[in-house]
Structure 1
Amino acid sequence: MSSFLSFVSQTSGTAIDQDAVEDASGCLDRFTEAFNALDLARMDAQLHFPHVMISESEALLWDAPNQHPSDFFQRLQSTGWASTRYESKVPVLTSKNKVHFLVTYTRRSNTGEELSRHTNLWIVLKKNDAWGISLRSY
């Protein structure tokens, strides 16, 4: 972008771009498949960097892959977690290269019991012909 005004003046149509939603949703599915497979490298492959996570009033910025703590999955498993699944992925803003999803997912035990439920905003962008998650707000 050449200026702030041209950046914020870009508009998305009100119609949902179904192709973009399908492609971006596939990115979310691949991320969660990798998550459930305990595969940090495959998870990172579904992220665009810099990658932003927002929680409350705090923001975390990852400039590159390999930022998860080495014991990330061990900590998660200590809560009884065995898998994560999407309950819904609702596109709330779309264009041909960007989809904002209101994502609801559950964390589940090895018996399928729901341990927790989360609803977040995730933004998926298409850059260099690849869809990747750019922002997650928790």
Structure 2
Amino acid sequence: MSSFLSFVSKTDSNPIDPDAVEEASRCLDQFTAAFNALDLAGMDAQLHFPHVMISGADTLVWDAPNQHPSDFFQRLKSTGWSSTRYESKVPVLSSQDKVHFLVTYTRRSDTGEELTRHTNLWILVKQNEVWGISLRSY
């Protein structure tokens, strides 16, 4: 967008686009499949950059791939983590090229025990015909 006015003046009479939701949801599934496969490059492949994460009042911006700490999965495994799964992915706003999901996922042990539960807002956008996660709010 070239100006603030053109940015905020877009309107959409249909807040949920089922085709966009299905496509964007596949991106989320691919991200989590890579996550569970301990595949940082595969996770990055599902992100758009700059990638924004918001936690409380803190904002983290990654301008490029390869930003996860090298010991990311070792730290996660030290908590007893073995896998992550979606409990729900609820689209709350969408258009042809953007979907906001309220995502609930659990982190689980190797026996399937729920270790933690998280509900976050994730925003996916379609850029150059490719869906990617642009923002995660924790």
Determine the structure 2 residue equivalent to 1:55: 55
User: What is the CA RMSD across the aligned residues, in angstroms?
Assistant: 0.7
Find the residue that maps to 1:42 and give its secondary structure.
helix
Find the residue that maps to 2:23 and give its secondary structure.
helix
Alpha-carbon deviation of 1:2? Answer: 2.7
Find the residue that maps to 2:74 and give its secondary structure.
helix
Find the residue that maps to 1:13 and give its secondary structure.
coil
Looking at structure 2, the residues matched to 65 and 94 of structure 1 have their Cα atoms a distance apart, in angstroms, of 26
Looking at structure 1, the residues matched to 17 and 75 of structure 2 have their Cα atoms a distance apart, in angstroms, of 38
TM-score by length of 2: 0.98
For structure 2, the 5+ residue unaligned runs are none
Determine the structure 2 residue equivalent to 1:96: 96
Alpha-carbon deviation of 1:16? Answer: 1.5
Alpha-carbon deviation of 1:12? Answer: 2.2
Alignment of 1:27-42 (within 5 A): 27-42=27-42
Alignment of 1:5-44 (within 5 A): 5-44=5-44
Runs of 4+ in 1 over 2 A off after TM superposition: 12-15
Alpha-carbon deviation of 1:15? Answer: 4.2
Looking at structure 2, the residues matched to 23 and 50 of structure 1 have their Cα atoms a distance apart, in angstroms, of 21
Determine the structure 2 residue equivalent to 1:134: 134
Deviations 1:6-49 (A, max 9, x none): 10111222341100000000000000000000000000000000
For structure 1, the 5+ residue unaligned runs are none
CA contact (8 A) 1:86 1:105 kept: yes
Alpha-carbon deviation of 1:50? Answer: 0.2
TM-score by length of 1: 0.98
* Number of equivalences: 138
For the pair 1:123 / 2:97, whether they are aligned, the reply is no
CA contact (8 A) 2:99 2:125 kept: yes
The percent identity for this pair of structures is 80
Find the residue that maps to 2:104 and give its secondary structure.
strand
CA contact (8 A) 1:13 1:95 kept: no
